């Protein structure tokens, strides 16, 4: 079986591993305890702290034909490239790299539709780090002469991490900011796009990965509450809501993500085209049970 190495077996990385049954999967995690738990799920998880070069990780990279980077960059840049660049450049089987980034690189956008050609806005250290990592991976692809795909992801949700869970935990708030909308993406569709690219002959590039319906966040909460048969939390006007700076920065985003390229050039068909189908699947999987 083709080997795929997942740098960062977290939420998105594990979702990919679950769906990639046709591949031999290995990857990294930051703790031995998590590695043991993943081993019980049948995953070969290797410990990497983001700093030290580990021989077993380097060997696994040399065996991989594709590399999925699901871990975010740190203060010192992308840890995979910083520590394992030489191993990756010399990896004899490596044919493709897929890097998971974020639509946050486009900035707030003022509610406009955004395609892959839209300008990026490196206003925050976090966004600048993402853009630098994207550029470094494209540089790597040119040096290695292999395709590199950057997947700019909308807000990620899925089993165990979605509005149903927050409603049941009493942690959900219905903040209303007039005119605001943004997209989401179910974690299984991230995996689906990655698998489609691994099987493709695409030359690589930037891909917006989002669902097909940008929506106000309060509408999603109302729908999730209806699925659970409970009343949604009361509306709170954004202007007067008591929010931390981090929470307030979340509501600064107002963008509608175009995925026409994903449809036109890759022919991708969404498993969960809107939040409705995605939340229904999360409910069927047991999320939201009291």
So what's the pLDDT on residue 107?
84
Q: What is the mean pLDDT of residues 249-277?
A: 94
Tell me: pLDDT of 1 over 80. Answer: no
In the chain, domain spans: 3-156+185-209, 159-183+213-256+273-284
So what's the pLDDT on residue 32?
93
- In the chain, the N- to C-terminal Cα span, in Å, equals 41
CA–CA gap between residue 28 and residue 9 (Å, rounded): 6
What is each CA distance from 197 to 48, 60, 186, 277, in whole angstroms? 26, 21, 17, 23
So what's the pLDDT on residue 147?
98
Of the CA atoms within 13 Å of residue 80, those in its CB half-sphere come to: 28
So what's the pLDDT on residue 186?
98
Q: What is the mean pLDDT of residues 121-133?
A: 88
Flag the least confident range among 108-117, 140-149, 172-181, 213-222: 108-117
So what's the pLDDT on residue 2?
64
Strands 235-237 and 174-176 come out as parallel
Banded model confidence at residue 290, pLDDT cuts 50, 70, 90: low
Partners of residue 150 on adjacent β-strands:
99, 206
Structure confidence by residue, pLDDT tens digits, 236-247: 999 999 999 888
Q: What is the mean pLDDT of residues 38-56?
A: 92
The residue among 107 and 94 whose pLDDT is bigger is 94
**Which bin fits 170, alpha (ψ -120 to 50), beta or left (φ > 0)?**
left
Structure confidence by residue, pLDDT tens digits, 84-102: 999 999 999 999 999 999 9
Tell me: pLDDT of 117 over 70. Answer: yes
CA–CA gap between residue 254 and residue 112 (Å, rounded): 8
CA–CA gap between residue 74 and residue 51 (Å, rounded): 10
Tell me: pLDDT of 252 over 90. Answer: no
Tell me: pLDDT of 289 over 80. Answer: no
CA–CA gap between residue 5 and residue 94 (Å, rounded): 10
Phi then psi dihedrals of residue 285, to 5 deg: -80, -5
What is each CA distance from 3 to 15, 44, 62, 67, in whole angstroms? 16, 11, 10, 9
Mean pLDDT for the chain overall: 94
Tell me: pLDDT of 250 over 90. Answer: no
Please, are residues 77 and 51 in contact by the beta-carbon 8 Å criterion? no
Phi then psi dihedrals of residue 289, to 5 deg: -70, 140
Tell me: pLDDT of 155 over 80. Answer: yes
Partners of residue 256 on adjacent β-strands:
113
Tell me: pLDDT of 183 over 70. Answer: yes
Q: Is the entire prediction scored with pTM above 0.85?
A: yes
Q: What is the mean pLDDT of residues 203-216?
A: 97
Q: Report CA torsion sign: 32, 198, 136, 12.
A: negative
Please, are residues 114 and 182 in contact by the beta-carbon 8 Å criterion? no
Class of domain 3-156+185-209: alpha beta
Partners of residue 176 on adjacent β-strands:
237
Chain Cα centroid distance, residue 192 = 12
Give ∠ CA 217-99-101 in degrees, rounded to 5: 30
């Amino acid at each position: 079986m083709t080997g795929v190495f997942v740098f960062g077996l977290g939420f998105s990385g594990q979702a990919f591993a679950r769906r990639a049954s046709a591949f031999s999967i290995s990857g990294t995690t930051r703790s031995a305890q998590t590695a043991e738990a993943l081993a019980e799920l049948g995953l070969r998880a290797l410990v990497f702290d983001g700093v030290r070069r580990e021989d077993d990780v380097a060997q696994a990279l040399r065996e991989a034909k594709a590399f999925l980077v699901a871990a975010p960059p740190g203060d010192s840049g992308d840890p995979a490239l910083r520590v394992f660049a030489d191993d990756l450049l010399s990896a004899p089987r490596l044919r493709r790299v897929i890097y998971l980034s974020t639509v946050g690189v486009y900035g707030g956008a003022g509610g406009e539709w955004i395609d892959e050609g839209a300008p990026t806005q490196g206003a925050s250290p976090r966004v600048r780090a993402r853009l630098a990592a994207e550029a470094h991976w494209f540089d790597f692809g040119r040096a290695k002469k292999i395709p590199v795909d950057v997947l700019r992801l909308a807000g990620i949700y899925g089993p165990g991490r979605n509005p149903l869970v927050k409603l049941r935990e009493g942690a959900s708030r219905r903040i209303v900011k007039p005119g605001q909308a943004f997209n989401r993406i179910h974690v299984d569709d991230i995996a689906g796009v990655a698998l489609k690219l691994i099987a493709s002959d695409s030359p690589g590039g930037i891909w917006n990965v989002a669902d097909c319906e940008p929506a106000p966040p309060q509408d999603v909460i109302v729908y999730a509450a209806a699925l659970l048969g409970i009343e949604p939390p009361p509306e709170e006007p954004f202007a007067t809501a008591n929010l931390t700076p981090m929470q307030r920065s979340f509501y600064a985003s107002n963008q509608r993500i175009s995925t026409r390229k994903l449809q036109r050039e890759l022919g991708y068909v969404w498993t969960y085209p809107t939040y409705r189908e995605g939340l229904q699947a999360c409910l069927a999987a047991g999320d939201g049970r009291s």
